[in-house]
Amino acid sequence: MSLPLAPFGRTGHQSSRVLFGGAALGSVTQDVADRTLEVLLSHGVNHLDLAASYGDAELRVRPWLQREPDRFFLATKTGRRTATEAREELHRSLDRLGVDHVDLWQLHNLADPGEWDTALSPGGAAEAAVQAREEGLVRFIGVTGHGSQIAATHRRSLERFDFDSVLLPYNYLTMQLPYYAENFEALASTCRERNVAVQTIKSIALSPWLGRERTRTTWYEPLDRQEDIDLAVWWVLGRPGVFLNSVGDVDVLPRVLDAAERFAARPSDAEMQALVERSRLAPLFV
């Protein structure tokens, strides 16, 4: 059994509905990374989402790309805001990945208003992205972000620049926040009209760690029980046209992929509310 595929926006690529969140490889050994590759291949994952800031993730993926050429749609990100700095970071990513281009290069966590204006103004990172696309170093350009304001910010970003993809949080609890839900729905509508790919993160977020001992490599505490992960993953996949970026922990990853392979229908609001109450889900953003 393998994950279903769907068109990744206007790129022409049929991506697995679950994309591999490369943050999971930030601090693992190459042996652990290679075993993770086998998990991804067994489930049919064909899209890797990395970032320059994800520790050693780009280095860990390099042998995969040599072993499995043309197997994956390859995405990475830059957190730099000026054209010069972003261009330098792109070349560093290409060197670390051992490739001459990436399929998707994303402006990473573009949320701060000042950084947003710098990146999307002349001399900013978006200018570097356009130049890199013209030079064949990147094929498509995206934008990512976190926080309660990011759906609204992405709407502004799409007014300013013709991005090929967006990435932002999406889970049942976050969508109970009226302001976030309103802007997410408006953003999703624009993305449908313009054929922009929508990537979602934090599908199995339980709560912030809030001083508790961190037992996973995610910055938030994730759901842990398979039955809970099932509901959270199925709720996201129950929305047509969105992709689910997998969890940033290699040990939880197989549970997410297993849930996705068994997806049949979206859980009801009553089922999701029961999950919120029994697991004591808490919002990551307010």
Instruction: Give tens-digit pLDDT for 147-197.
Output: 999 999 999 999 999 999 999 999 999 999 999 999 999 999 999 999 999
What confidence score (pLDDT) does residue 109 get? Answer: 97
* Residue 102 identity (one-letter amino acid): V
- Determine contact, residues 23/60, Cβ cutoff 8 Å: no
CA pair distance 91, 111, nearest whole angstrom: 24
Q: What is the mean pLDDT of residues 32-42?
A: 97
CA pair distance 131, 56, nearest whole angstrom: 26
Dmax of the chain from CA atoms?
52
Q: In terms of CATH, what superfamily is 5-279?
A: NADP-dependent oxidoreductase domain (3.20.20.100)
CA pair distance 61, 138, nearest whole angstrom: 18
**pLDDT over threshold 90, residue 210:** no
Q: What is the mean pLDDT of residues 69-81?
A: 97
Which single residue is written with the structure tokens 């760690």? 209
| Lowest mean pLDDT across 72-76, 82-86, 276-280 | 276-280
**pLDDT over threshold 90, residue 12:** yes
Instruction: Give tens-digit pLDDT for 83-127.
Output: 999 999 999 999 999 999 999 999 999 999 999 999 999 999 999
140 membership: H or E segment, kind and range: strand 138-144
Count CB-CB contacts under 10 A for residue 131.
15
Domain boundaries defined on the chain: 5-279
* pTM of model > 0.75: yes
What confidence score (pLDDT) does residue 286 get? Answer: 67
- Determine contact, residues 6/14, Cβ cutoff 8 Å: yes
CA pair distance 248, 245, nearest whole angstrom: 9
CA pair distance 37, 104, nearest whole angstrom: 20
CA torsion sign, 203 to 204 to 207 to 209? negative
Nearest to 56 by CA among 88, 20, 24: 24
35 membership: H or E segment, kind and range: helix 30-43
